[in-house]
Each structure stands twice: as structure tokens, then as C-alpha cells.
Amino acid sequence: MEAMQAKLRSDYRAPQYTIDQLHLDVKLDDHATVVTATSQVIRNDADASQLHLDGDHLTLRSVAINGNALADDQYQQIGGGLLLEADLDQFELTIVTEIDPANNTALEGLYKSGGAFCTQCEAEGFRRITYFLDRPDVLAKYTTRVEADKAAYPYLLSNGNKIDSGDLAEGRHFAIWQDPFPKPSYLFALVAGDFDLLEDNFITRSGRNVALQLFVDRGNLYRGEHAMASLKRAMKWDEQRFNLEYDLDIYMVVAVDFFNMGAMENKGLNVFNSKAVLADPQTATDDEYHRIESIIGHEYFHNWTGNRVTCRDWFQLSLKEGLTVFRDQEFSSDLGSPVVERIDAVNMMRSHQFAEDAGPMAHPIRPDKVLEMNNFYTVTVYDKGAEVIRMMHTLLGEQKFQLGMQLYFERHDGQAVTCDDFVAAMEDASGVDLKLFRRWYSQSGTPVVTASERYDASAGQYHLTLTQHTPATADQADKQPLHIPVAIELLNANGQAITLVSDGQPVANVLNFTEAEQTWVFDNVAGPVVASLFENFSAPVKLQQQISNADLALIMANGSNDFACWDAGQRLLTNEILAIVDGAQSRGSDLLLDAIRQVLLDERRDPALIALMLALPTEATLAQQRSDVDVELLHQSRRQLLAQIGQDLDDELLARYRDCHDGEYQQHGQAVGRRALKNACLFILAIAGKATTQELCGRQFAEADNMTDRLAALNAMNQGQLPAVTDALASFEAQWRDNPLVMDKWFSQVAMAPKGDVLADIQVAMQHLQFDIANPNRVRALIGAFASGNRNQFHAIDGSGYRFLTDQLIELNAINPQCAARIITPLMAWKEVDEERQRLMKAQLQRLAALPNLSRDLYEKVSKSLA
């Protein structure tokens, strides 16, 4: 494995040259697309005489300055890029290149997705289209002329407004697009294809009419309606909550089948994975409906947080991503259930982000060192980044936070800026001191906060001492104390919150915890209290608090704060599962069963919340509680507890199931919550494996009028390994074999079956007509679901799971490195398992390391894993 050069945040230099206008002419052809790029270049640094342009996988045809072709000794091609003699203050640069979109399986730059041409330029894909200053702090106005065969590609799209179009000889046609807003190259987009078009419009609050256009594969128009409605909700919400209005006359969304991630926020022309757009009740689950709304919102919100104000360099990625995730979370929360949204976000943090902190890829939300930028679109940059924004929101309050946003846009609209600029705007607008808080941007790792408590009955005082400590991470040994907002409630013996008083004054329920150790004293505390700390997950930390299972059960069943109830439940469940792992208990306690029974019987509680309270912490979350916990024992213990709940509470579960089994399908909040609860009950009953459940699942599977119920029944049969699952899988396949997005659900069911010979089934599934290793959706649905969603089988002690994943990674390394680097994650987590498994995992990592053509994407992850 040869060392590859990383980039450092500290090495940032302002660009020596900039380009303020770019005219692109793209003549589309499967294997020989010709791109003519005409740039207006301006020298920023008088001492500079050579211009270095980024480039990758390009064939250079010609290069000219001010219309004069350069001679061979006036430029060099180095490392994919181009170095030019350019001792001029201002000039026009014309470069002609040729590219091969049909063979571009990396899905970066310009490529073919099915029958359409499309682009993906973030982070550094534009350099695969032409030689350019492919960095986010070079902002240019783009004019793009697209030319292609008219019959095959009736729609020719790019950013901004269409200013001209027409027919050409030989059945070709063209369109010219102009984007009035200067933008970095990563926001460039071009699409050419044959689609069905769903049209609508939105009147902005200032009365402008925006045309909304959604392009989907032919025959899928009705499946785009939910995405269109979501877009209109997002546009309205951003005006109301963030005071932000859309700025172009047209907003286009194109759904494509080959896409490395969910979607991309290109200016005025979003490109989406079809999975994140298409939905109808027959093919999409409630979760997918929700995800579509959230991603449509996310990409739309980027128009201000990302596009109007962008990142100075890629180390600042969280500037736009953390903030935009925070905004999309708030959007979902305002339109739906705040507690459900919060629990989803916290589950993500605990299952995946805490694990990332504990593994070889640990990095701060603003990384210091990057080899392949695509590897840093992580749960840390996105989700922990959003938590950091949320903490500022908690410290400032909504009103001051919005003043901060306003100042941020006043100062930086049209600029490429840093995370520090964002914090400075928040600080200056609010007057809240965020000096220490900035450390969240530079320090990686999950802080551990330890609480010690004392109740002084004679003084009526409750004393709380908190200490904080962040364990060393793979990237950073020394850690400093952070500014941690601690949302606290003191609950009396009935689980109700008491008023917080300190020194005779009422105090806010958010403590500013800024030192290694701090103590707070609360007065007027009439009796012993239970402290509910980090309510709503007020900071992304792990909490260590001595609290009895009885108190947890009390909060779970009676607490007045929904999040605190759920969280107490999770802690109680964790304690019980680990007690079974340790052999300290052979089964779940009566206390736990009673608490769950109470939750199940609670008529006032939102069914969606009850469903979440019935979900046990994931194996991934549990595995982090212990070092090298036995994989199988953990899996069995968790499953055993679930089965016991299903057996002991079968009447209650069945009653709830029946109660929530509604008539005709509806797609709105309450109906969704009731389906979630019904299906949570069915799942637990299936794990308990009762004969009656078999029939229940079978009937639901056969009679369901929507995908949520059908898939839930199939999943319950599969996870319970009920005999009927074989026929159900076959009938599902027969019904949906022509719809690849639905088949992804089938592939995932195959991959996640909890059985020893699952790999044999996966190998068969890979031969299915719909399986295509070049399509990232298929890869994630089958291979990814196995490695990350079937933990017990992936870690099979014969090493077969590791070997299988590595075989696929070797193939993907050559086809699509980005996709490979996404699904390698479970193989990197060897620290979580026992020595024998560690040895087996490292042997597979060594196999990858020995590859002669190892991509940068995998190199970075493999070398860190083996370091």
C-alpha cells in the first residue's frame, strides 16, 4: 500500500487566480462528449505566473489564451490537472476536452444513468468535466449550452433560466441556460434525458411565481406527487420560520436511478436518487414518505445555507451540512411530531456517530486532515454538526438564533465562508459568549459526563456535581473541557417536574457546564428527586448517572416529558439486556415488564411514541457499552428479552395490534403513528414465535392495501423466522420483480434474515435480474444491509461475512470507489469485537491494502483501520 498525500485544513491559501465567468458548451455523446469551457480568469496574486487547474479522467484537445492556442511547452499535464504559463492580470481561457460518460461508473462528474445523462459535482467532480479551479471559494456566473440528439434526449437542463433553445441538423437540438447567481463548481448540474414532467408552481411571500418541475422516469408521474407537495411545504416553511424566500423563477428536481447518495442541491436543478423522490402507497413505506419529505426539504434549504452562502474550503463542510440538517430536522419537527423527530436523530447519533467517534475514522465536525473528501460526508459532519447548531440554538433561544441567522446572511450572502464566520454571526447578534463553545468544531470524540448527586433533607437542597471527560480518539490524543448545555428537570416521586430554584431565584432549566467539574445547588426541594439530565439530548454526550431501575421505570411510565420517558426506557432496557449478557439475570425483570405494560396500556400517549418505546436499543448501540462484548451473546440476549416481552405481554400487544389495525389506508400523521404501533406489536409477537402470530402476519401480508403493512408483516415473519416467510418472500418477488426500488426491500429482507446460511441466499439474490453491482441502491440494499443490518451473521466466527464483504469491495473498488467506501464501515469496527474476530477482520483489511489499484477512497479508510 503506497502512501497517498492528505490535505490539511491549516494549509488553506486563498486562490491566486479566480474565474468569475464561465461559458460551457457541452456536446453530448455516450463515449465522446466534447466540452468547451471558456473562462474569464482574473489574477488575484500579482506574484503568480502559473495557473494550476484541477482535472481528472479528461482527454485534452486544445487550450488557448485570448484566442491563441498554447504551444506544447506553454502547458503541462500533471497528476490529472493542467499547469499553464499565465503571467497576465486578466484573460480568456478556452479549453476543449473530451470525456466518456457511458464508462463513468464512479458516478462522479458527467455520467449516464440508465438512458439519461446527469452530473454529480460535489465535492470534486467538476474536474471530471473540464479543467477548472475546482474549489468552493471560486465563484463564477455560468452560461451552459447543451447539445444532444433530440429524440433520445428531449429535455436538456442546467442551472438557472433557459434563455434559448432550438433544433439543429442531424436530429440534434440545443438549449442554453444562464444562472444569474455566482456559484462554486460543485453546484453545477446538467441533465439530458427523456422524462415525464410533473409541473406545479409556488407563489413566494413577495408575490413571485416560481415554476416547479419534477422530472421522473416515464410512467412514474403519480409517484412524484408526494415529493412535489413536500417541496411546496418546504418553501412555505422556510419563509415562515427562517424568513427565507426562493430566488430564481424556476426550481427543477430530476430523479435518476444511478446515484451515490440521496440527492444533490445544485442551484435550481436538484438531482435526486429516484429512491428519495418516488412514492405511492403500494410501493413506499411510511418511513420512505417521511424520508422523501425530509430530503426534499434538506436540498431546498441548501439554497440559502450552502448555495447563497457556501463553504470556503471542504474542511468547512459542516457549515452547510450541519446547519442544513438542523433546518431539515426542524422542518420535520414543526410539521410532524417533535418527540418522534428528536428520537430519530438521537438514535442516529447513538448508533452511528458515537461509533464513528470510537473508530479509526474519528474526526471533528470540522476535520483537520482529509485524503478523499467524499469520505467526510459523515454522520459526524452531518448529524453531530446539526447537534452543534442545535446546542447554539439551545443556548441562544429561537429569537436570538434567528437574529444570528439574519446577521449571517447580511454579512456573507454571495460569499464562501468558514464555520468561524457562522459562530461569529451568532455571537455578535446575540451577545452570548461562544468563545469556549467553538471547541466543538475542533475537538473530536464523545464526551462522557458523570453525574454525582446528593440530597440534603435538612436544608431542602439538592446538589448536582458533573464532571466531563472526552476519551482520546484515533485522530486526537488530548482533549479539553467543552461548553455543554445541560437541560435538566428534577422529578418528584410521581415523575412530575418541580420548579428549579437557586439562591432564592427561579433558574432556567439549561445549565452551562464549561469546566472539567462543576457543582450546582437547588433550593426548595421538598423530598428526594430524580434528576432527568440532558433532556431532549441537549448535548451529544454519554451520560453516566447512578440511577436505579425503579426510578427509570418510574420516569418511563409516568414522566411528563415524552423524550425523558423514552430515554429512561432505553436506559432501563439497556441495563436489563446487559444484565442478561453478564449472566446477572436470566430474563427481563417484572419491573421492566410492568413498565412496558403501562406504556402499552396508556391511552393518552401518542401511538408513534409508544412504538418507539417498544423498540429495543440496537445491537450497534449496545455494543458500545462494553469493550469486546461477545457478538452472539449480545444478539441472543437482546432477542431473548424481546421474545419474553412478546410472551408475557401477548394479550396487551394483541389488543393494541387490533385496536390500531385501521380500515382504509391514509397517509397522515395519526394514521402513520397507529400503523407504526400496530407493526411494532406484530414484530415483538413474531419474535416470540407464537402460532397465532403466524396467522396474523400471513393475513396482514396478504391483505394489506399498502407497502408499510405488507413489508412490516414480511419483516416480522423474517426476523421471527416463521415458516411462512419463504412463500411470502417468493410472492413478494413475483409481484415486484419489475420494480427495482421495491425489489431493494426484498434484497434487504434476504440480507437481514437471522439465519446461519444467509450468505448462500445473498449469493443467489446477486444473480437476480434486478441486481446490478453498478447501481449503488442495489449494493446498499443487499450487501450494505447484510454488513450493517445483520450484525450477528456479518460477524460469523468462521469469518465468512468479512470475506464476502471484502470480495464485493474488491469488485466495487474498480467500479465505484465512493460506493465501496460507504459500505466498508462495519469492517472497520474491529475494536468492538473479540480477539479472534479482530484477527479475521484485519486479515480482510490486509487483502484490500494489498490491491494494486486501491482507490483513494478505500485507501484512506483501510490504512486508518490498520494503523
Q: Name which of 310 and 430 has its Cβ closer to Zn ion.
A: 310
Parallel, antiparallel, or unpaired for β 510-513 and 501-502?
unpaired
- Look at residues 323, 320, 294, 317 and name the one whose alpha carbon lies nearest to residue 306: 320
Q: Binds 648, which of ligand B3K, Zn ion, none (CB < 5 to 8 A, cut-off by type)? A: none
Parallel, antiparallel, or unpaired for β 416-417 and 209-216?
unpaired
Closest contact distance (angstroms) between CB of 302 and Zn ion is 6
Contact 553, 572 (CB under 8 A): yes
Site residues for ligand B3K, window 431-450 (CB under 6 A)? none
Contact 710, 679 (CB under 8 A): no
Cell 486501491 belongs to residue: 854
Q: Binds 86, which of Zn ion, ligand B3K, none (CB < 5 to 8 A, cut-off by type)? A: none
Q: Binds 123, which of Zn ion, ligand B3K, none (CB < 5 to 8 A, cut-off by type)? A: ligand B3K
Closest contact distance (angstroms) between CB of 295 and Zn ion is 9
CA distance 514 to 731: 58
Closest contact distance (angstroms) between CB of 734 and Zn ion is 38
Contact 791, 317 (CB under 8 A): no
Binding residue (CB under 6 A) for ligand B3K from 19, 63, 110, 123: 123
How many Å is the Cα radius of gyration of the chain? 28
Helix (H) or strand (E) holding 652: helix 650-660
Q: Count residues binding Zn ion (CB under 5 A).
A: 2
Q: Where does this chain touch ligand B3K (CB under 6 A) — which range of 67-75, 239-247, 295-303, 753-761?
A: 295-303
Q: Binds 466, which of Zn ion, ligand B3K, none (CB < 5 to 8 A, cut-off by type)? A: none
Q: Binds 374, which of Zn ion, ligand B3K, none (CB < 5 to 8 A, cut-off by type)? A: ligand B3K
Q: Name which of 175 and 325 has its Cβ closer to Zn ion.
A: 325
Q: Name which of 122 and 453 has its Cβ closer to ligand B3K.
A: 122
Q: Name which of 262 and 754 has its Cβ closer to ligand B3K.
A: 262
Site residues for Zn ion, window 313-372 (CB under 5 A)? 321, 324
Q: Which three cell numbers stand for residue 229?
A: 407537495
Q: Which three cell numbers stand for residue 865?
A: 483501520
Closest contact distance (angstroms) between CB of 503 and ligand B3K is 46
Closest contact distance (angstroms) between CB of 19 and ligand B3K is 22
- Look at residues 730, 818, 788 and name the one whose alpha carbon lies nearest to residue 258: 818
Collapsing DSSP to helix, strand or coil, 551 comes out as helix
- Look at residues 302, 358, 360, 354 and name the one whose alpha carbon lies nearest to residue 331: 302
Q: x/- string (CB under 6 A) for ligand B3K, residues 256-285? A: -----x-xxx--------------------
Helix (H) or strand (E) holding 710: helix 707-720
Q: Which three cell numbers stand for residue 444?
A: 473530536
Closest contact distance (angstroms) between CB of 247 and ligand B3K is 18
Q: Where does this chain touch ligand B3K (CB under 6 A) — which range of 297-305, 362-370, 558-566, 584-592?
A: 297-305
Helices (H), ranges, 177-285: 225-242
Closest contact distance (angstroms) between CB of 796 and ligand B3K is 31
Q: Binds 713, which of Zn ion, ligand B3K, none (CB < 5 to 8 A, cut-off by type)? A: none
Q: Binds 264, which of ligand B3K, Zn ion, none (CB < 5 to 8 A, cut-off by type)? A: ligand B3K
CA distance 415 to 417: 6
Looking at the chain, how many residues does it have? Answer: 867
Binding residue (CB under 6 A) for ligand B3K from 25, 56, 293, 299: 299
Closest contact distance (angstroms) between CB of 712 and ligand B3K is 29
860 binds ligand B3K (CB under 6 A): no
Which residues are 488's β-sheet partners?
533
> How many other β-carbons are positioned within 10 Å of the β-carbon of residue 457?
10
Burial class (CB in 10 A: 0-12, 13-18, 19+), 657: buried
Q: Which three cell numbers stand for residue 277?
A: 423522490
Q: Binds 261, which of Zn ion, ligand B3K, none (CB < 5 to 8 A, cut-off by type)? A: ligand B3K
Closest contact distance (angstroms) between CB of 363 and ligand B3K is 15
Q: Name which of 321 and 453 has its Cβ closer to Zn ion.
A: 321
Q: Count residues binding ligand B3K (CB under 6 A).
A: 12
CA distance 343 to 593: 22
What is the DSSP track for 260-307? SSSEE--TTEEEEEGGGT---TTT--HHHHHHHHHHHHHHHHTTTBTT
CA distance 145 to 360: 45
Cell 419491573 belongs to residue: 591
Q: Name which of 262 and 336 has its Cβ closer to ligand B3K.
A: 262
Q: Name which of 101 and 297 has its Cβ closer to ligand B3K.
A: 297
CA end-to-end span of the chain = 12
For residue 619, report the phi and psi dihedrals to the nearest 5 degrees. -60, -35
Q: Name which of 264 and 824 has its Cβ closer to ligand B3K.
A: 264
122 binds ligand B3K (CB under 6 A): yes
Q: x/- string (CB under 6 A) for ligand B3K, residues 41-80? A: ----------------------------------------
Q: Which three cell numbers stand for residue 675?
A: 400503523
Site residues for ligand B3K, window 344-383 (CB under 6 A)? 374, 377
Collapsing DSSP to helix, strand or coil, 594 comes out as helix
CA distance 61 to 134: 19
Out of 147, 299, 321, 860, which one is annotated catalytic? Answer: 299
Q: Is residue 299 annotated as part of the catalytic site, yes or no? A: yes
Closest contact distance (angstroms) between CB of 13 and ligand B3K is 23
Closest contact distance (angstroms) between CB of 322 and Zn ion is 9
Q: Binds 412, which of Zn ion, ligand B3K, none (CB < 5 to 8 A, cut-off by type)? A: none
Site residues for ligand B3K, window 311-330 (CB under 6 A)? 321
Contact 712, 683 (CB under 8 A): yes
Q: Binds 377, which of ligand B3K, Zn ion, none (CB < 5 to 8 A, cut-off by type)? A: ligand B3K
CA distance 54 to 124: 9
Q: Binds 788, which of Zn ion, ligand B3K, none (CB < 5 to 8 A, cut-off by type)? A: none
Q: Name which of 281 and 367 has its Cβ closer to ligand B3K.
A: 367
Task: Catalogue the active-site residues.
Answer: 299
**Interaction site with ligand B3K (CB under 6 A):** 122-123, 261, 263-265, 298-299, 302, 321, 374, 377
Binding site for Zn ion (CB under 5 A): 321, 324
